[in-house]
Amino acid sequence: MITVVIPLYNKARHIQRALDSVLAQTYEDFEVIVVNDGSTDGSEKVVERYTDSRIRLVGQANAGASAARNRGIAEASADLVALLDADDEWLPDHLDAVMRLRTSFPQCGLYATAFRVLTQRREIAPSYAGIPAPSFEGVLPNYFRTVYGDHAICASTAAVPRAVFNACGLFPEGERRREDLDMWCRIALKYPVAFSTRIGAVYHQEADNRLTRGGPILGEPKVVQTLDEALAGEELPAGVTRLDLLEYRNIQLITRAQNILRRGYRREARELLLRASSTQEHRGVLRRWAFLSHFPGPMLRLAFGLRSKLR
């Protein structure tokens, strides 16, 4: 059995799509825990209309996506927890792929499938670096070299054994954005990661009320602190070098700098880019964004705002 955890906050227009995609799974031995994180738009009423006994609604005061995921994990009955955001959806064989990975590679701490991204104007197929073959299903040779942009796994494709959460801790609360990257990093530092390039989910970037559309998150992401601690230690995962961790750390800093520079925060972006100056593999990207950081803030906001509307 699998426990599916869905954090829910003001997704009244999307939660039905997410739940319907779970109920359409070819693997049917699951329970669904929807954690209503203080929604004010009636999202919970959509969930209450479902009569399937496998769906359970839990309520709490608004505390963020990480806190909602952690509450769902605490409520889980199954040994394996699969995550899905309320505005994303699964393809029908996603859980089958997850269970196939779990059965074949029981030693792993994280199981995930590929995903495609849907924006306002187009659909983006995944293109991963660090995958042994285009059609791959197995244990990743090196999680920290497997990236799609700055990451390989999103919260709507991941499944984690509860014992792994017990060993690695839960999602960091208070981070507000991309806190899942820190969770996957902490797991990958302790356990192998199993992955399938078969697309199992659709990441709806065009959905309402996405965290990525909120105000800028200044400062370094939590995952950088985790990586710095690992780099300061003596033991690394098998097959992972310090250079692997360092370059993964650097791309996280560069990505955060990009996100805040798009909103005109030049000084804060330059500070993050300076912290990533040790990179050898991403020097071209680093220099390009360092150059852009010298343009006036209003010009940057206008240019990137127009670009976003055309995506």
- Backbone dihedral angles phi then psi of residue 223, each to the nearest 5 degrees: -60, -30
SS3 233: coil
Do 26 and 147 fall within a single domain? Answer: yes
* H helix runs in the chain, sequence order: 15-23, 43-48, 65-75, 94-104, 162-168, 179-188, 222-232, 242-261, 266-275, 283-292, 297-310
pTM: predicted TM-score of the whole model, two decimal places: 0.92
- Contact in structure between 97 and 26 (CB atoms under 8 Å): no
Predicted confidence band at 184 (pLDDT cuts at 50, 70, 90)?
Answer: very high
Do 233 and 182 fall within a single domain? Answer: no
Among residues of the chain, what percentage have pLDDT more than 70? Answer: 93
pLDDT at 213: 43
CA quadruple 261, 266, 267, 271: dihedral sign: positive
Q: Which domain holds residue 226?
A: 222-310
d(CA 254, CA 275): 9
Do 198 and 248 fall within a single domain? Answer: no
188: its two tokens:
């990958």
228: its two tokens:
């710095």
Split into its structural domains, the chain has a count of 2
Would you say residue 64 has pLDDT above 70? yes
Do 180 and 197 fall within a single domain? Answer: yes
- Contact in structure between 60 and 68 (CB atoms under 8 Å): yes
Q: Which of 18, 76, 65 is nearest to 203 (CA)?
A: 18
Do 59 and 191 fall within a single domain? Answer: yes
- Contact in structure between 305 and 261 (CB atoms under 8 Å): no
- Contact in structure between 107 and 206 (CB atoms under 8 Å): no
Q: Which of 88, 89, 90, 87 is nearest to 43 (CA)?
A: 87
283: its two tokens:
């020097």
Do 101 and 203 fall within a single domain? Answer: yes
Domain stop point among 178, 194, 213: 213
- Give the lowest-confidence range in 138-147, 164-173, 298-307: 298-307
238: its two tokens:
């098998």
CA angle 135, 136, 139 (to 5 degrees): 175
Predicted confidence band at 308 (pLDDT cuts at 50, 70, 90)?
Answer: low
- Give the lowest-confidence range in 9-18, 24-33, 209-218, 274-283: 209-218
Do 252 and 158 fall within a single domain? Answer: no
Section 260-271 average pLDDT: 92
> Looking at residue 78, which CATH number applies to its domain?
3.90.550.10
Higher-pLDDT residue of 177 and 262 is 262
pLDDT at 148: 81
Domain stop point among 156, 180, 213: 213
pLDDT at 129: 86
Predicted confidence band at 120 (pLDDT cuts at 50, 70, 90)?
Answer: confident
SS3 72: helix
Do 185 and 235 fall within a single domain? Answer: no
SS3 279: coil
d(CA 103, CA 106): 6
Do 57 and 122 fall within a single domain? Answer: yes
pLDDT tens per residue, range 68-82: 999 999 999 999 999
SS3 171: coil
What rounded mean pLDDT belongs to the chain? 91
Do 131 and 240 fall within a single domain? Answer: no
Do 128 and 59 fall within a single domain? Answer: yes
Section 280-286 average pLDDT: 95
pLDDT at 309: 58
Q: Is 214 exposed, middle or buried (0-12, 13-18, 19+ CB in 10 A)?
A: exposed
Section 179-183 average pLDDT: 92
Q: In sequence order, which residues have a C-beta less than 8 Å from that of residue 134 and are 6 or more positions away? A: 197
- Contact in structure between 33 and 228 (CB atoms under 8 Å): no
- Give the lowest-confidence range in 150-154, 195-199, 258-262: 150-154
Domain stop point among 213, 239, 259: 213
pLDDT tens per residue, range 28-45: 999 999 999 999 999 999
d(CA 76, CA 83): 12
133: its two tokens:
């073959």
Do 206 and 230 fall within a single domain? Answer: no
CA angle 52, 10, 98 (to 5 degrees): 50
Among residues of the chain, what percentage have pLDDT more than 90? Answer: 76
